[in-house]
Chain A
Amino acid sequence: MSTAGYSSVSAQGLPEGFKKGELAAEPSAEMIEAGKRVYFTKCVWCHGVDGAGDGPGADRLWPRPRNFNQGTFKIRHTASGELPLFDAKKPIPGQNDLFETVTHGLPGSAMPPWEGILSEEQRQQVLSFVTTQLVKDRKFTDKQSESQTVLQLADLKPKPATDESKKRGGELIVEKKCVECHGMEGRGDGNAFNLKDDWGFSIQPANWHKCWNFRGSRQDPYNVSNIFRTFSTGVNGTPMPSFADNTSVDERWDIANFVNSLCERDPLGNPLPIDPLTDKPKINFVIPSDMVEGEIPTDLEHEAWKKAPKRYVAMGGQITHKPRNFVNRLDDIWVRSLYNDKHIVYLLEWDDRTKSVAEGKLPWAPTQVNIDIKEQDPKTGEEGSIAAQQNNYAVYNDAIAIETAVKWKELPAPIKPRYLFGTNEQFPVDIVKWEADGSLRAFKGTGWDKDFEERDNYEEAMKLLKAEWKNGRWYVMIQRPVGNKKDQDYDEDTFFEVGQYIPTVFFAWDGHNGDAGRKMAVSAFYYTFMNPPVPQETYIYPVVIAVGVVLLEGWVLTRRSNKKKGKTL
């Protein structure tokens, strides 16, 4: 493992920040037996009867459930290649790696936090079972073959995240070749497309801008110590190595500070509020659109765009209608909007590790909804399974679409049109779709299984102001008319009215993931809200009210003093 000769290696041959630890004692037989009961109630469904990560749910998950047999665990305090810390008898809080994983889950994967569901004792029991019975190739208590070199995270105080430290970190991630996999802007788009884990399954490098998806975030995503730990110990079973041997503790803090600084923050630079129920940023379902005078700027650096509120739009896989998208790679979009008297513009930004443009013509018409892409059978490794197909899909176009309700004012309260492609002829939706081949089309949707109707001449009214893929992120700016009764077709066009809540849904496709047709990512219903200019009454009435209150005060005081003097009105 660690070799002498590096400046960061201490006298005992241990990397800086690490100390030798003792192997934990074997859990009691009762604990193991009790843990079996927990395992076969809760865990077996994904991790499988033998803990080989091949339960019934496994093949439709990505990242896949852990195969326990080899004793390879990702999130640890121990040196690269070593077993994680787990002590059923004398746990050290915060350092009982496997217990922490079960407690907090692995965000960004299907492993949920079990705190509040299983008691602390039950979590210890199930881990006693897993570490003794399901880890088959190694033994947690075998002093001959196992050692523990423990990162002393509790004793290492984080270095303040000064500009200097972050700057040095920014230089180090180039020097240490982090950018080769994680990409120039850290969006996980480096030379990473064909990365595989120890079992040959496709994996992708972390996107540093979405720290809430870090597996090791321990439900505390903006905590720099988690990044420091992962960087120091590496991620076993993946190409992510430990950097403990060739970086000093000080350098590791610089890198961790830099990586942490990349995670999305609000305009003031504060961490985004995280929803404790989902461990993702809190969602605001209203997308405000600010008014601008004259032309809407196309430059991202323009003052108006910088001031426009940016909304996090959560995206989930479309898993309700065939073909279903179990393995969804686009989990959020950032949306901003501006409008003027004629147009409304959406600026959509989302991270996609691969720029995908279909080679040649696609085998179906753009309007076709019921297209024939096979839905995967859940059988590992076999032809047609997700595991076998990942990274081998025919490449389609990356794409994004905005769906808005038509005649939304007439929808009987509180109806919204059906979520996916509209309800019927009576309550259709207006869909604007951009594809990476540069096309921008307008469709009318009348139901989840109905082919779109192309709205031929409407395309001339729209404009693609920007479409650029840079370092793992798409920037697309779409302009469309706000609509009015004079020029547009009331029956198939959304009229955007100032000060109203217009139901809006977003769809996104990742071309390298085989996304096409209904195999896509979807958002919930959001609302586009065009902020109205402040009406004059807003300034007048409060003054009138205040004056009224003064008069009232005068009346009360007069009355009181009269009463005291014995006079009555």
Chain B
Amino acid sequence: MKALMSLGALIGVAGLLLLGGMIFDVVPSTTVRLVEGYMPIQLLLEVACYVIGFTGLSYMMNAMGMALPRFWQGIGFWIFLMVYLKYRVYPPIPFSVRAMYGTVGLVTVFMWVSANEEDWKKFKQPIMNVLDAQTGMNRLLRYVYLVLIPILIGGFSFNAMMPKSEEPIELRTVHPAPPASTKVHGKTYTLQTSQNPYRVNPEGKYDQEFSNANIVEQGMGRLMKPNANPWDEKNQGYLKYVREGGEIFFQNCHFCHGDNLNGRGLHAFAFNPIPANFTDPGTIAQLQETFIFWRVSKGGIGLPNEGFPWASVMPPWEQHLTVDEIWKVVLFEYWHTGYYPRTWDYEAKHDGQYDSEGRDHRGCSLRSGVSVYCGIFVGFSARTS
């Protein structure tokens, strides 16, 4: 047990030193690099390490007879939380969201220190000691606090009142409710009944199962199935059209949406909001093919009122592509990400998840949209100017 705990303490100390070092630039801030794709799991692992570390530390200090009072444990944990959120998590979390996490963290700490009467007393004790100032040390502390607290609070309020030019936060609905039908190149498509005409088997018949069997494999790399190469000349049906869709994608779309369809294309760095990441399970994996067809055809300009702000540079692709080309690109996007499009059949069978207009397909996007905290904002938008 003891050996285990000292290992934990070691992890904790090393972790804290590393974090501090990276924040204060003692060691390069890229020492433990966050890698896109691994990032969420990396952060979870890190937090797990810290939890083990803190447990170990607290146990070891107890065993060595220099137990940290509950008061300082609580404050220390809360400070760690705020520091971690501010300096470690990437892309940066806006202050308003950090404030929310901070409040939740504070409430948690309070619940922890006031779990029972005895704990609460222990927690209060250091405060009471300073107030009563029975020892010389505490008397000194009391005077220090007397002076320090007004200065700090005054300083904070001065800082808060200084005019600042921080970037206003903009939130937007990324999957607004689609219309019932859309007219592209003179033909009207009813979104609920339309099908991708290229999702067909070699005989040319619409075949969802055939196409689902030939998409790339989920998992690292998302590679094609070994015997389902779209570049095979003998292909008929689905895979042939995937290749044609890919050709269109790499002549028109990858500049923004990226070679790996992750929204990190050549020009993506210049745009805000950044282009959609199709490999994110929150985008095309959540939608019907007809929804994508509508969004690709009509672009940012075709967004309904709830799709504000109109900052999207997504063009209405009907200006550049034919209907066939658009369907093929949609086909390619699902193949390359390894997602099955949602289908209306599926919705009918799993009643209640989505209503017929797809009104639950909502999310929001900050420039570097991290879906974890994004979810908090769904449903309202703010203008901070």
List A residues at the B interface (Cβ < 8 Å). 37-38, 40-42, 44-46, 49, 55-57, 59-61, 109-112, 114-119, 122, 220, 275-280, 283-286, 288, 314-317, 319-322, 326, 328, 331, 378, 412-420, 423, 448, 499-501, 522-525, 527, 529, 531-532, 534-535, 537-539, 541-543, 545-547, 549-550, 553, 556-557, 560, 564
Within the complex, the shortest CB–CB distance from B141 to chain A, in Å, comes to 13
Given that A45-B246, A117-B262, A314-B270 are contacting pairs, would A286 and B165 also be in contact in the complex, using a CB cutoff of 8 Å? yes
Within the complex, the shortest CB–CB distance from B321 to chain A, in Å, comes to 12
Chain A residues with Cβ below 8 Å from B69 are none
Given that A320-B313, A413-B383, A419-B311 are contacting pairs, would A118 and B154 also be in contact in the complex, using a CB cutoff of 8 Å? no
Q: CA A501 – CA B268 in complex, angstroms?
A: 24
The count of residues in chain B whose C-beta lies closer than 8 Å to any C-beta of chain A is 83
List B residues at the A interface (Cβ < 8 Å). 30, 33-38, 90-91, 128, 131-132, 146, 149-151, 153-155, 157-158, 161-163, 165-168, 170-172, 216, 220-224, 226, 229-231, 246-252, 254-256, 258-260, 262, 264-272, 299-301, 308-315, 319-320, 336, 368, 381-383, 385
| Closest residue on chain B to residue A423 by CB atoms | B310
Contact pick for B221, options A109, A117, A416, CB 8 Å: A117
Given that A531-B165, A538-B162 are contacting pairs, would A545 and B154 also be in contact in the complex, using a CB cutoff of 8 Å? yes
The answer to whether B153 and A546 touch across the interface, beta carbons within 8 angstroms, is: yes
Given that A55-B250, A414-B382, A522-B270 are contacting pairs, would A40 and B231 also be in contact in the complex, using a CB cutoff of 8 Å? yes
Within the complex, the shortest CB–CB distance from A531 to chain B, in Å, comes to 6
Contact pick for B150, options A60, A220, A549, CB 8 Å: A549
Contact pick for A326, options B163, B229, B255, B312, CB 8 Å: B255
Closest 9 interchain pairs by CB? A116-B37, A57-B250, A316-B270, A316-B267, A320-B315, A546-B154, A278-B269, A56-B247, A413-B383
Given that A56-B247, A110-B254 are contacting pairs, would A288 and B165 also be in contact in the complex, using a CB cutoff of 8 Å? yes
The answer to whether A60 and B314 touch across the interface, beta carbons within 8 angstroms, is: no
Chain A residues with Cβ below 8 Å from B262 are 117
Contact pick for A44, options B132, B153, B231, B299, CB 8 Å: B231
| Closest residue on chain B to residue A321 by CB atoms | B315
The answer to whether B314 and A320 touch across the interface, beta carbons within 8 angstroms, is: yes
The answer to whether A417 and B310 touch across the interface, beta carbons within 8 angstroms, is: yes
Chain B residues with Cβ below 8 Å from A283 are 269, 272
What are 28 pairs between A and B in contact, CB < 8 Å? Answer: A40-B230, A41-B223, A41-B336, A42-B259, A45-B249, A45-B250, A57-B250, A60-B255, A112-B259, A115-B35, A117-B37, A118-B220, A276-B33, A277-B264, A319-B315, A414-B309, A414-B381, A417-B310, A420-B313, A423-B310, A499-B163, A501-B168, A524-B272, A524-B313, A525-B311, A535-B163, A553-B146, A560-B132
The answer to whether A315 and B270 touch across the interface, beta carbons within 8 angstroms, is: yes
Q: CA A419 – CA B90 in complex, angstroms?
A: 28
Best-surrounded residue of B251, B264, B336, B383 (most CB of chain A within 10 A): B251
Q: CA A283 – CA B33 in complex, angstroms?
A: 20
| Closest residue on chain A to residue B219 by CB atoms | A119
The answer to whether A277 and B368 touch across the interface, beta carbons within 8 angstroms, is: yes
Chain B residues with Cβ below 8 Å from A284 are 167
The answer to whether B168 and A527 touch across the interface, beta carbons within 8 angstroms, is: yes
Given that A110-B266, A560-B132 are contacting pairs, would A529 and B165 also be in contact in the complex, using a CB cutoff of 8 Å? yes
The answer to whether B267 and A418 touch across the interface, beta carbons within 8 angstroms, is: no
The answer to whether A316 and B269 touch across the interface, beta carbons within 8 angstroms, is: yes
Given that A117-B37, A322-B319, A553-B150 are contacting pairs, would A122 and B258 also be in contact in the complex, using a CB cutoff of 8 Å? no
Chain A residues with Cβ below 8 Å from B268 are 278, 316
Best-surrounded residue of B151, B308, B310 (most CB of chain A within 10 A): B310
The answer to whether A110 and B259 touch across the interface, beta carbons within 8 angstroms, is: yes
Contact pick for B251, options A57, A316, A416, A546, CB 8 Å: A57
| Closest residue on chain A to residue B382 by CB atoms | A414
The answer to whether A416 and B153 touch across the interface, beta carbons within 8 angstroms, is: no
Within the complex, the shortest CB–CB distance from B265 to chain A, in Å, comes to 8
Within the complex, the shortest CB–CB distance from A533 to chain B, in Å, comes to 8
Chain A residues with Cβ below 8 Å from B385 are 500-501, 527
Given that A57-B254, A280-B269 are contacting pairs, would A560 and B131 also be in contact in the complex, using a CB cutoff of 8 Å? yes
Q: CA A564 – CA B155 in complex, angstroms?
A: 33
Q: CA A556 – CA B146 in complex, angstroms?
A: 11
Q: CA A560 – CA B162 in complex, angstroms?
A: 36
Given that A286-B165, A525-B311 are contacting pairs, would A116 and B264 also be in contact in the complex, using a CB cutoff of 8 Å? no
Given that A278-B264, A278-B268, A322-B320 are contacting pairs, would A553 and B246 also be in contact in the complex, using a CB cutoff of 8 Å? no
The answer to whether A56 and B251 touch across the interface, beta carbons within 8 angstroms, is: yes
Within the complex, the shortest CB–CB distance from A325 to chain B, in Å, comes to 9
Best-surrounded residue of A114, A117, A275, A537 (most CB of chain B within 10 A): A117
The answer to whether B163 and A56 touch across the interface, beta carbons within 8 angstroms, is: no
Question: Known contacts A283-B269, A328-B267, A541-B157; can you find 10 more A-B pairs with CB under 8 A?
Answer: A37-B223, A40-B230, A415-B308, A448-B301, A525-B272, A537-B161, A538-B158, A542-B158, A553-B146, A560-B132
The answer to whether A122 and B221 touch across the interface, beta carbons within 8 angstroms, is: yes
The answer to whether A523 and B223 touch across the interface, beta carbons within 8 angstroms, is: no
